[in-house]
Amino acid sequence: MPEAVQPTESVRQAEIEREQRHVDKVYARLDAVREEAERTHREGFGIAHARTPGSLVERDAMVHHAAQRLRALDAEYEGLVFGRLDLVDGEVRHVGRLGMRDDEHQPLVIDWRAPGAAPFYQATAEQPLGVARRRVIRSDGPKVLDVEDDLLDLAGAEAAGVSVTAVGDGALIASLARAKSTRMRDIVATIQREQDEAIRAPAGGVTIIEGGPGTGKTAVALHRAAHLLYRDRRRFEGGGVLLVGPSAVFMSYVERVLPSLGEETVELRSLGAVMDGVRSQRLDPPALAGIKGALRMRGILRRAVREAPTDAPRELRVVFGGQVLRVRERELANVRRHVGGRVQRANAARQEVRRALLDAAWAARPQGVSWERARFNEDVADSDAFVDFVPRWWPVRTPLDVLASLADPKRLARVGGRDLSPAEVSPLARSWSTVREDPSVADIALLDELRTMLGEPPAPPRKKDPYLLIDGVRELTSAADREFASRERYVRPDNYDGYAHVLLDEAQDVSPMQWRMLGRRGQYASWTIVGDAAQSAWPDLAEARAARDDALRGKRVRRFHLGTNYRNPAEIFEFAAPVVRRAVPDADLPVAVRRTGAVPEHREVTDLVAASRAAVDELLAAVDGTVGVISTAARRPEVAGWLRPDGRLQVVDGMQAKGMEYDAVLVVAPEELAAESAAGVRVLYVALTRATHRLITVGANDSWLNG
C-alpha cells in the first residue's frame, strides 16, 4: 500500500466532523422519507372508508408496501453510512446499507450492493480501480465515532486533491480487534475482495464457496442472499429464496447483522425444519445418524411403504349371487405386491387397488357359475363389506405412520433385508418407537422421502379467513391484522418446490438423504453452497458428494475459495490446525490474520469437574463476551450440571457448536470428542476453532494433540 502520512489528532477530528456533516444530511433525509412512508401507511387505512372491493385491495397493497418500507428503513438505521470512496477523478461516493438521494435526486449514499459500490470492496493498492482513498466510517446510530482510511493510489489522490493523510491503521484489523460482544459482528463495512467476488457472483447455476474455519463463509452466504434480492428482487422474491443452515447461527446474524433479509423475503430453515408439518432440533448419536442419512435408506423405505399396515385385515370376504367369496392372506399379499409395483404414490392408488381386489374376488368365484363380470364389479364394489375393507386394507398413510411402523424390529429386519446388518436393526427400531412425538433431525429427511413415495394425503380444511365480515364487507380488527392479512399473499404452499434460489450453509454435514430432500425443493433453482470438508461430521464423504451432484442435476458449477481466517487469532489456529491435518492431510487450512499473544493451553487433569469450573471462571474473567463450553453429546448434560450456563456461558456439544462463535472456549475432554465417531477428529477441529480470543482444553490426556 502507498506510504501515507500519519495524521495528528486534530486531523482525525476534522475528518470525523466532515463525515458527521454528511451523515447528518443522510439522517435528515431518512427522517423525511420515513415520514412519507408513515403518511402512506395512514392513508392506506383511510381508503377503507370507501368500502368497495377495489379499494380494499388497493388499501392492502398500500399498507403492505408502506409497512415494508418502514421496516426496511428502521432495520437499517444503525450505521446507515459506513463507507466513502474518493475516486481519482474527484468523485466522492458514500456507501451505506441503503441507497438514498436528496430532494434534487443527487445520490447521498449508494447501496452497498449497487455496482457503483463494488470498488469499495474490490479495489486494492495493486488494482485501485480508480479509487484514491477508501474510508470506513464507524458510527453509533447517527453519531460518527471514527474513520479508518486505506490510501490505494497516492499519485491519483494527489492529482484529485484528496488529502494524503490517511487516518487509522486499516479498517479490517481495527474491526477484528474490537470484536467483543455477544453478537455476531457486522462485516458489511469490511468485506474483503475474495469474499466480495463470491457475494457478487452471477446468480445462475451453482456457486460453491469453500474455505476453512472462520473465513466468513456464513457471513458471505447471507450477504450473497441480500445481494441477489437487491439485484433481482422480483425474481427472487417471487420464486423465493430458501436459506438452510444451523438456525441459531443464522438467526443471530440475520437479526443483528442483516435485518434487511426479513423473514418475508427469505425463508430461513434448519435441516430439521425443511419439511412442513414436522420439525426437530434433536440430533441422533453419530452412528445412528450415519445409518439414517445413507442412501440405502431409500430401498428400506420403499419396501416399508409396500408392506401391509400393522392392523390391515387378513381376508376379504364378499357375497355375490348367494355365494361367499374369500380372498385369503396369500392372494392379498400378491395383490399388494402387484399394485405396489405399478403405482408411484401409494396414497393415490385407491382406484388401482379396488380394481385389483375385484380381480382377486372374481378369481375366487366357484367353478361353473356364469356371472356377468360388469354386474359383479358394480355390485361387489358397492357392497358394505368391500367399501369397508378397502380403506382398512390400503389406508391413506402419513410418512409418520410408515416410519413408526418400523419400530417393530421384526418388520424392520424384513424390509431392511440386506441393507441393514442385524446389529443395526435394534437401535434403529428403538429410535423410531418415539418418532411420532420426537423425531430426530435425520428422521425429517426420511419423512420427506416417504412423503414423495406416499403422495400428499387429502388436503386439510382451508385456513380460516383472517378477515371478519362487518356489514357485509370483509374487514379486519386491528392494524396488526391488516398487515398480517396483506402479508398472506406471500405464503407458499406446503413443501413448495419452486424456489428461485437455494442457499446452503455448513453443506459438509448434509447427508445423502438430506441432499435428496433439498434437491426436491431446488429443482428449478440456482444454488449457493457453502462448506468446508475438513469440518464434516459425515463419515462417507464420497456418497454425500455423489448425492449432492444428483441433487444439482448437472447445473453449471462456479467455485470460490476463501483463504483468510478472521475469527481465530493465529495462536488458536496454530493449535487447532495440526489436529485436523493428521486426520485430513489435505485439509483446507486458512491463514489467521490476527495475533493476540494469548496462547491456548491444554491442561491434563484427573478431576475434570474442578478443572472445568476453574477454567470457566478464568475465561469469564478474561473476556467481556460469551464463553462456550464444548464436550461430546453424551457428556453435555453432565457438564451443564457442573457449571451454571446463562446468557454469557453456553454449554454445547460438538455438533451444536457448528458455525458458532464465542469470545472464549473451553473444550472439555477433547480426547472423547476425537473418539466419539468416525469423524470425531473433524468435530474436535470444529470445537477448537470457535474462539475469537481465548481457548483452554481440559482432559485426561493429550493423545488427540500429539496423534
Ligand X SMILES: Nc1ncnc2c1ncn2[C@@H]1O[C@H](COP(=O)(O)OP(=O)(O)OP(=O)(O)O)[C@@H](O)[C@H]1O
- Chain positions contacting ligand X, by CB under 6 A: 172, 175-176, 184-185, 187, 190-192, 195, 211, 213-219, 532, 535, 566-567, 659, 661, 689
Q: Hey, what's the cell of 187? A: 462485516
Q: Hey, what's the cell of 178? A: 474490537
In what side-by-side order are the strands of the sheet with 241-244? 266-269, 241-244, 501-504, 526-531, 206-211, 557-562
Smallest gap from residue 692 Cβ to ligand X (A) = 7
Q: Do 318 and 325 meet the contact criterion of CB atoms below 8 Å apart?
A: yes
Smallest gap from residue 506 Cβ to ligand X (A) = 7
In the DSSP assignment, the letter for residue 590 is P
Smallest gap from residue 178 Cβ to ligand X (A) = 10
Residue 217 or 292 having the CB closest to ligand X:
217
215 known ligand binder: yes
User: Where are the alpha helices (H) located in 570-702, listed in sequence order?
Assistant: 570-583, 608-622, 636-642, 670-675, 680-688
Q: Which residues contact 399 (CB under 8 A, 6 or more apart)?
A: 446, 447, 448, 450, 451, 454
Whole-angstrom Cα Rg for the chain: 31
**CA 590, 595, 597 angle in degrees (round to 5)?**
135
Smallest gap from residue 508 Cβ to ligand X (A) = 9
Number of H helices and E strands in the chain, helices first, is 28, 23
Q: How many residues does the chain have?
A: 707
Residue 44 or 659 having the CB closest to ligand X:
659
3-state secondary structure of 285: coil
Q: Is 358 left (phi over 0), alpha (psi -120 to 50) or beta?
A: alpha
Question: How many CB atoms neighbour CB 606 within 10 A?
Answer: 7
626 known ligand binder: no
Residue 192 or 526 having the CB closest to ligand X:
192
Smallest gap from residue 192 Cβ to ligand X (A) = 5
141 known ligand binder: no
Residue 446 or 665 having the CB closest to ligand X:
665
Helix H or strand E segment including 78: none
Picking from 294, 194, 232, 206, the residue whose alpha carbon sits closest to that of residue 503 is: 206
How far is Cα 466 from Cα 478, in angstroms, rounded to an integer?
11
Smallest gap from residue 665 Cβ to ligand X (A) = 12
Output the CA–CA distances (angstroms, integers) from residue 675 to 228, 284, 679, in the order listed.
42, 16, 8
User: Where are the alpha helices (H) located in 394-440, listed in sequence order?
Assistant: 399-405, 409-416, 422-432
Q: Do 505 and 658 meet the contact criterion of CB atoms below 8 Å apart?
A: no
Cell 467481556 belongs to 624
Residue 45 CA neighbour count, 13 Å, CB half: 14
Smallest gap from residue 347 Cβ to ligand X (A) = 40
Residue 239 or 659 having the CB closest to ligand X:
659
Residue 215 or 526 having the CB closest to ligand X:
215
Smallest gap from residue 185 Cβ to ligand X (A) = 4
692 known ligand binder: no
Residue 51 or 180 having the CB closest to ligand X:
180
Backbone angles phi, psi at 148, to 5 degrees: -130, 130
Residue 165 or 192 having the CB closest to ligand X:
192
214 known ligand binder: yes
Smallest gap from residue 401 Cβ to ligand X (A) = 38
Q: Which residues contact 539 (CB under 8 A, 6 or more apart)?
A: 286, 290, 677, 678, 679
216 known ligand binder: yes
409 known ligand binder: no
Q: Hey, what's the cell of 229? A: 434480492
The one-letter code for the residue type at 232 is D
How far is Cα 304 from Cα 23, in angstroms, rounded to an integer?
65
Pairing state between β 107-111 and 100-101: antiparallel
Helix axis angle for 286-293 and 422-432, nearest 10°, is: 100
Picking from 37, 56, 34, 35, the residue whose alpha carbon sits closest to that of residue 45 is: 56
Residue 64 or 224 having the CB closest to ligand X:
224
Smallest gap from residue 186 Cβ to ligand X (A) = 7
Picking from 632, 595, 651, 622, the residue whose alpha carbon sits closest to that of residue 173 is: 595
Smallest gap from residue 103 Cβ to ligand X (A) = 35
Smallest gap from residue 699 Cβ to ligand X (A) = 22
Helix H or strand E segment including 146: strand 143-151
Residue 61 or 174 having the CB closest to ligand X:
174
Residue nearest to ligand X (CB): 216
Residue 4 or 184 having the CB closest to ligand X:
184
Residue 214 or 512 having the CB closest to ligand X:
214
Residue 507 or 651 having the CB closest to ligand X:
507
Smallest gap from residue 447 Cβ to ligand X (A) = 28
Q: Per the annotation, where are the binding residues for ATP?
A: 211-218
Annotated binding site: 211-218
